[in-house]
Amino acid sequence: MSSLLEVEGLNVWFDLEGERELHAVQGVGFALEPGERLGLVGESGCGKTTTVLGLLGLLPPSASVAGSVLLNGVDILAGGEESIRPHRWVDLAIVFQGAMNALNPVKTVGSQIVEVLELHERARGREARTRTSELLESVGIPADRAERFPHEFSGGMRQRAAIAMALACNPSVLIADEPTTALDVMVQAQILELLDSLCRDFGLALLLVTHDLPVVAELCDRAAVMYAGEIVEHGPVDALYHEPRHPYTRLLFAATPDLYGEGVPASIPGAPPRLDRPLVGCPFHTRCDRAFGRCTHERPLLRELEGSRSAACHLNDVVAEVV
Amino acid sequence: MSQNGSRPLIAVEDLVVRYPVARGLGGALARRPKRFVHAVEGVSFTVKRGELVALVGESGCGKTTTAQAVLRLVEPVSGRIEFDGGDITTLQTRALRPLRRRMQLIYQDPYESLDPRLSVRAAVEEPLLIHGLGGSKAERREHVREALARVELNPPELFLERYPHELSGGQRQRVAIAASIVLGPDLLVADEPVSMLDVSVRAGILNLLDRLREAGLGILMITHDLSTAARFADRIAVMYLGRIVEEGPAQSVIRDPQHPYTKALLSVVPRRDPRERSKREILSGEAPDAVRIPSGCRFHPRCPMAIPDCKQIDPALEPAGDHQAACIRV
Ligand SMILES: Nc1ncnc2c1ncn2[C@@H]1O[C@H](COP(=O)(O)OP(=O)(O)OP(=O)(O)O)[C@@H](O)[C@H]1O
Ligand SMILES: [Mg+2]
């Protein structure tokens, strides 16, 4: 049976000046089932946002996209804008990175949601306003706030409004790009709780994009770790933390401070490679504490491992449990 | 981990800072009374040499205002600020000048705190020139090199002639720190110094601050990230609506929180280990704005433990557990 959403071999190149190209997304693939919560994590610039904008056909003209995006088994990327448009917002919706600061400042929050409903011919007039009230209530905003302007909302409330807007057409997949970044810890907890209940109560599938590993550990079932445009490890969050099969995953966790963790977080030396030049060997080898000869010249492929997980690291060919 | 029990580097006592709220023309004409943002309402704490004190709390709770008052960048309404034993609360600009060199601020955004037109060398040398310090040109160069080496931009030659756009975010923050320590300060005030940086870079900067602390600097770090405070601070002060509601040794505050607000905050901090997913105690709503402070305990409207007395009694910090908390229920 086909998955709800299946992304395969997604590649994105940006045209740069002087005939150069930046290979921002390099063969990314993952699947999502109804009600499932998948985290997409990695450091700034690793291609998280480009991946999700790419699969929704929302990248600027300077980007070329290749790969397939199967929605219930049907490729919606193949026919370009024409084949994506009927599904965007309707089946696949997104809360953009920084969405809470992107609401139209001169329109009330309610009227912005009404507009979305009318644009997609979901409802109009009185019916649209009723539906808007329901949507706001479903994300924890009292319906009587519909007449307020975005600046009258706190950051947390604006993020809720952005989520309500994404839910307007009853999508089956919600993509949330850094939905809690820049929010205080208590408000972050409220938003995570909201996303959690949307998945539990409505069977919404969630693709949670963030640089914040603990947020993914808290909310997601599985996670894909991105580095330099590709997924380097993918698996259940528990396994990623307790038995990482890629040194980058291990080092990323080790760099993350934990409330009750022992020891001091350690930085990962060096920086990710430039993506406007061909990569030789493993993209992580210059920063890796376990790199060996093969890593400098042969690029490891993402390989299936036991326990419904995968990793792109030569160490997994040598012996298990060496990472 | 403070090395000597001697007098604190910074001692803040009963600090109060208020900002007037703009009334608009209508309000002024109607002679509506002037209203104030009660940014800081009676805050006391100390920072010793070789100690890192973290001020934590949600945005708007008064952390940044407190830090700015310590540096005398905003004027307090009342209270007392001592630096190295001397009262600096009312010092005038000129008398303050020699002290400025000894207390330095590190900003949140390494992209804004560096002048894009200045090379690394010029940026780190600038404070020396402003304060007329550092001796001859050759000596100044040596100071700049030393500062870069201390922030681990090695070898310094590799960075001296670069401009901010040629540096990564972490390297920029290191340059900004180098410019702060080149004058040999005793106190660093770091306002969310790593919140804009990637996690792998973050750890490097925090470890750097930790080494500076070990070398004897006093550091006041403002952060909303409790995990960072737990790992790097000697002491933690938790602020809510302009007050410190709990204060003590970091591990004691984290492992044995007393105030219901601290308990709730700690309960919602996401953990690295998915097996440690905690039972979150989510407070509804958000902290009210600091114009209309609730009566009694300012936390009572959101407090899961509030009793009728909490509406009347404004609790002071008192011993609780092996540290201090401001709550009549502990
Ligand atoms: N429009 C564009 N033109 C050229 N390069 C781009 C464009 N958008 C993104 N990039 C580059 O593509 C790479 C991936 O960027 P992307 O925004 O997807 O990263 P991200 O993982 O979302 O980072 P962050 O955590 O900072 O949001 C980066 O090197 C970025 O500079
Ligand atoms: Mg992004």
The ipTM value here is: 0.90
pLDDT at B23: 65
B202 within a domain of the structure (yes/no): no
Per-residue pLDDT at A323? 57
CA distance A316 to chain B (A): 23
Chain B residues in contact with A210 (beta carbon < 8 A)? none
Yes or no: say if B1 and B234 are a contact pair by the CB < 8 Å rule: yes
> Do B230 and B94 lie in a common domain?
yes
Contacts of B277 (CB under 8 A, 6+ apart): A217, A218, B271
Average pLDDT in the B229-233 region?
96
Interface check B282 vs A, CB under 8 A:
yes
| pLDDT at residue number A320 | 53
In Å, how far is B139's CA from the nearest CA of chain A? Answer: 31
Specify whether the CB–CB gap between B43 and B243 falls below 8 A: yes
Q: Which amino acid is at A134?
A: E
Give residue B286's pLDDT.
80
pLDDT band at B2 (very low <50, low <70, confident <90, very high): very low
* Main-chain dihedrals φ then ψ at residue A217, nearest 5 degrees: -60, -35
**Cβ contact (<8 Å) for A217 and B274?**
yes
Q: Considering just the CA atoms, what is the radius of gyration of chain B in Å?
A: 21
**Which atom number of ligand 1 is nearest to the Cα of residue A178?**
27
Q: What gap in Å lies between CA A249 and CA A224, rounded to an integer? A: 10
Q: Cα–Cα distance between B194 and A267 in angstroms, integer?
A: 12
Question: CB contact, 8 Å: A221 with chain B?
Answer: no
Same structural domain, B171 and B42: no
The reply to whether B74 and B150 lie within a common domain is no
CB B35 within 8 A of CB B46: no
B57 located within any domain = yes
pLDDT digits 0-9 by tens, B275-296: 998 789 999 888 888 888 899 9
Question: Is residue B311 a part of any domain in this protein?
Answer: yes
How far apart CA B147 and CA B211 sit, in angstroms, is 13
Per DSSP bridges, beta strands A205-210 and A21-32 are unpaired
DSSP A88: B
Residues with CB under 6 A from ligand 1: A 14, 22, 24, 42, 44-50, 60, 62, 97, 211, 275
Q: Do B200 and A189 touch (CB under 8 A)?
A: no
Task: Give the ligand with the smallest distance to the CA of A59.
Answer: 1
Would you state the pLDDT for residue B3?
Answer: 44
Instruction: Give the span between the Cα atoms of A197 and A219, in whole angstroms.
Output: 11
Q: How far apart are CA A322 and CA B196, in angstroms?
A: 33
> What is the reported pLDDT for B222?
95
Q: For residue A136, give Cα distances in angstroms to A12, B141, B182.
A: 35, 60, 53
CA dihedral (B203, B204, B205, B211) positive or negative = positive
What is the pTM assigned to this prediction? 0.90
Residues B192 and B281 occupy one common structural domain: yes
Average pLDDT estimate for B258-264: 97
In which band, very low, low, confident or very high, does the pLDDT at B1 lie, cut at 50, 70 and 90? very low
Taking CB atoms and an 8 Å cut-off, how many pairs form between chains A and B? Answer: 129
- Does B201 reside within a domain? no
Place of tokens 């406007």: A276
- The secondary structure of residue B274, as a DSSP letter, is G
Q: Which residues are registered as beta bridge partners of B106? A: B190
Full residue range of the structural domain in which residue B129 is found: 108-184
- Which CATH number does the domain housing residue B288 bear? 3.40.50.300
pLDDT in tens, B42-80: 999 999 999 999 999 988 899 999 999 999 999 999 999
User: Do B294 and B232 have their domain in common?
Assistant: yes
Cβ <8 Å between B200 and A184: no
Measured at the CA of B285, the angle between CA B284 and CA B290, to 5 degrees, comes to: 135
Do B239 and B290 have their domain in common? yes
> What whole-number distance in Å separates Cα of residue B90 and Cα of residue B92?
6
Residues B84 and B131 in one domain: no
Nearest residue, CB atoms, A267 vs list B200, B226, B273: B200
* Mean pLDDT calculated for residue range B254-258: 97
Number of domain units in chain B: 2
B122 and B98 within one domain: no
Average pLDDT, chain B: 90
A130–chain B Cβ distance below 8 A for any pair: no
Same domain, B114 and B94: no
Put simply, the answer to whether A266 touches B203 (Cβ < 8 Å) is yes
Look at ligand 1, atom 27, and give the residue with the nearest C-alpha.
Answer: A44
In B, minimum Cα distance to A154 occurs at B286
Q: Between residues 13 and 42 of chain B, which touch chain A (CB distance below 8 Å)?
A: none
> pLDDT tens per residue, chain A (323 residues)?
789 999 999 999 999 888 899 999 999 999 999 999 999 999 988 999 999 999 999 999 999 999 999 999 999 999 999 999 999 999 999 999 888 888 999 999 999 999 999 988 888 889 999 999 999 999 999 999 999 999 999 889 999 999 999 999 999 999 999 999 878 899 999 999 999 999 998 899 999 999 999 999 999 999 999 999 999 999 999 999 999 999 999 999 999 999 998 888 999 988 899 899 999 999 999 999 999 999 999 999 999 999 999 999 999 987 655 55
**d(C-alpha B117, C-alpha A183), whole Å:** 33
Among B64, B200, B210, B267, the residue to mutate for chain A (most A Cβ within 10 A): B200
In terms of DSSP bridges, do strands A63-71 and A5-15 run parallel, antiparallel, or are they unpaired? antiparallel
- ∠ Cα B119 B120 B123 (to 5°): 85
